[in-house]
Amino acid sequence: MAMPVGILRLRDVFVLFVLLSCLCSTSSGGTKSMVSVPDLQQLMYTTIDSYPCVRLLSLSGEVGCANPGRHKVVAPIVKLDDSTQLTRPSAVLLSVDQIDGFFKRISNDPVFSGNIVGALVELESPSQNSILGFSPADKFPQAIFAPYKNTSYEWNPLGSGILQNAHQFPVFLLSENSSSTVHKLSTMNEKSKKDYTEHVAEFDLVMQTTKSVTRDTRACLEGRSCLPLGGYSVWSSLPPINVSQTGKRKPIILTTASMDSASIFRDKNLGAESPISGLIAMLAAIDALSHLDGLVDADRQLVFLAFTGEAWGYLGSRRFLLELDLRSDYVGGLDDSSIEMVVEIGSVGKGGGQGVQKFFSHVTGVSSATNETMDAFVHAKDTLNSEKVELSYASASNPGIPPSSLMSFLKKNPATSGVVLEDFDSAFSNKFYHSHLDGLLNINASSIAAAASLVARTLFILATNDSNLSNSALSTISANISLVEELMGCLLTCDPGLSCHLVQNYIVPRTVCPSHYVGVMLGAPSSNPGSGYVDDISRFVWNFLAEKTSASGKNSLSTCGNNCSNGVCIKSETNPSGGTCVLSTTRYVPAYSTRLTIENDFWKLLPGNSSDPMGMVDPVWTESNWDTIGLRVYTVQASVFDHFVLLGGIAITLLAYLMIVTSRAFIEKALKRD
């Protein structure tokens, strides 16, 4: 059974005393000496490299995972299989393909769920097992925000919905090395059931919202035990916009992509196919267009926007549209009435098949703008003969556009003209949507590069308003597949990860392994936030866009110095002299719920507003605070052995007492005879 941590700590003190005695007597025998308690703790405890499932909250309650109370929990490790019947509190070890079944059993078997102290999930990749698919998201992700009524449609047929469940026990995803370690310990526990020792896991996943009993967003914001999900989106124009210009502006072609994903496990969150393949395609398209001179005098203005927070209530797109309404400094130079067309790049990493890159266009409806955009797409596709690209309209039987940022635009203005480019027709091609398994092996560079070239040529046709551009003129606009591959390595792996040359040319990343979880809002929103308030991915994208969309060299300064009022300062983190000042219209836009405001450094919930229909149904996601998160394993004596020692001690005490009484009587009798 699970043992109270207090009793274990008393035992630890005793074991430490014994080990110190032993080590003192053996330190001169040629073995490695231990000179401090931390040395002994390192010997006794093994810290497990892992990724936690943490506690999130909404207006309706909790999701995610946490310790049930205020303290760490400890239990023996048990490998889960179909025949496992738990008779005592246990820490279960399970594989990825057991997750759905495990959580269903938790819901349906109260005896089983009552004996779950924690769960440990082994790390596997699609190439290492026969998993046909795993998606913890809903079958229609974020259906409450859909701009149409058919919300029972299954865009994500493999979706189990467990991402929205709340668990009153800790769950950790183990790293590859830790998976092997913990698996061996569970096997040793299975083989040594009659021994007097067992291997246990100690979970430290105590959430502040649990300690303060603030079980929803409203309560935790008032109790200051949580922070709202959010971050910073990035937008940039090509060429730069003259913000001070008065009068009528050029019509805008707005191209968007998302840069955040979701997963059960907070920090194992890559989202390679959904949505990072689209982000990489947009960055590659911008790079391809940045080498052209014809956009300065183009009839339309190109604007690019990388949203964050889209996986948790379309935070980025909704906040962007609100800032447009407010005409805030975040969107200076933009006007929502000037947005003529929205082109969104969705999941485009799995378009390849049998040597053909196949994509689908999901349109908002029939309009002159969408017709012109689709004509441009078809023209661009026809010039990509060498890449063997196919482009088709999505099925008319679909209820509307798939889950995407474009939904926010349609909710605000149903007449919005827009196209979402995807690699699927009626259902996601991504079998690992919003799963930690949606990694590098789930996409291919050729598909992303083809999508980037298709989008770049389409945008050039639309910007120049010339549908008669020759193939030779468009053939010079092609995505750099080497850049695509480099971005994949930087944004989707730990080696090189964010330590790659491309990223480190712009920023000093805080971590090496990328994660595309949106994170939480730190401090008050700002149009010029410090690097400590913006995550690595957003800072990299901002610097990349600012450089690629900047005006030519004569408008650039060699160093920022103290004056960069006419431009933006890029590479300031990596350049000892303070960075380079370039003429670019690149801005941060905060991404957080439209139902929130900050007053005196504390977040407050705003009442619902009927003019904001998406805000009326917004869950308003927050993340619980915590002190530390950790997972470690060690060996303890079985409770049976403790009971045996106790009974043995009692028996010896009684026997000794009887022997004393008997001996005393015998001695007294002998003395009387003498």
Positive or negative: CA dihedral 555, 557, 562, 567 = positive
Phi, psi angles (nearest 5°) of residue 136 = -80, 0
Residue type, 252: I
pLDDT of 665 reads 85
Q: Taking the complete model, does pTM exceed 0.85, yes or no?
A: yes
pLDDT of 407 reads 98
> Which tokens is 341 given?
């067309």
Closest by CA to 630, choosing from 2, 45, 98, is 45
DSSP string of 170-201? -EEEEPHHHHHHHHHHHHHHHHTTTSSEEEEE
Cα-to-chain-centroid distance, residue 505 = 24
The Cα-based distances of 155 to 391, 426, 428, 429 in angstroms read: 20, 7, 6, 10
Specify whether the CB–CB gap between 489 and 450 falls below 8 A. Answer: no
Specify whether the CB–CB gap between 269 and 276 falls below 8 A. Answer: no
What is the chain's Cα-based Rg? Answer: 30
pLDDT of 537 reads 98
Helix (H, G, I), strand (E, B) or coil at 523: coil
pLDDT of 32 reads 52
HEC profile for 572-640? Answer: CCCCCCCCEEECCCEEEEEECCCCEEEECCEEEECCCCCCCHHHHCCCCCEEECECCCEEEEEEEECHH
Split the chain (674 residues) into runs of 10 and give each run's mean pLDDT.
Answer: 46 47 45 62 86 98 96 95 85 92 90 94 68 93 97 97 95 94 92 79 97 97 97 97 79 97 95 98 97 89 98 98 95 92 97 85 93 95 86 96 98 96 97 95 95 97 86 88 98 97 97 96 93 96 97 63 78 88 95 96 94 94 97 84 79 90 85 70
Specify whether the CB–CB gap between 313 and 145 falls below 8 A. Answer: yes
pLDDT of 566 reads 73
CB atoms within 10 A of CB 386: 9
